[in-house]
């Protein structure tokens, strides 16, 4: 059951990073939230990924074939990188 606290930590850190990086209100962020609806463009997304990598000490894949449409997709990518 180690995965539950780790997943919770990933989710919280992802939300906090989005909030701190671009002042996105926490109450608007859910796994189903579309990145576009948060005003996150490709440049903003790179900044968020760099902040996540730094905060969580992970290396995230930067591959154009990976489709990240919503916050849940980002969380899954982080989870698979750990």
Report pLDDT for 3: 56
pLDDT tens, position by position, for the chain (82 residues)?
Answer: 345 778 888 889 889 988 988 888 999 999 999 998 988 888 888 888 888 888 888 888 777 667 888 999 988 888 888 7
If we measure between CA atoms, which residue out of 37, 38, 77, 41 comes closest to residue 59?
Answer: 77
CATH class of 3-81: mainly alpha
Report pLDDT for 51: 86
Distance, CA of 42 to CA of 46 (rounded, Å): 6
Report pLDDT for 65: 64
Beta bridge partners of 34: 70
């Amino acid at each position: 059951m180690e995965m539950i606290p780790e997943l919770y930590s990933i989710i919280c850190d992802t939300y906090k990073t989005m909030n701190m990086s671009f002042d996105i209100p926490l109450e608007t962020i859910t796994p189903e939230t579309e990145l576009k609806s948060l005003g996150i463009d490709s440049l903003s997304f790179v900044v968020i990924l760099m902040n996540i990598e730094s905060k969580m000490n992970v290396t995230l894949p930067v591959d154009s074939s990976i489709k990240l449409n919503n916050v849940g997709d980002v969380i899954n990518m982080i989870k698979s990188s750990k």
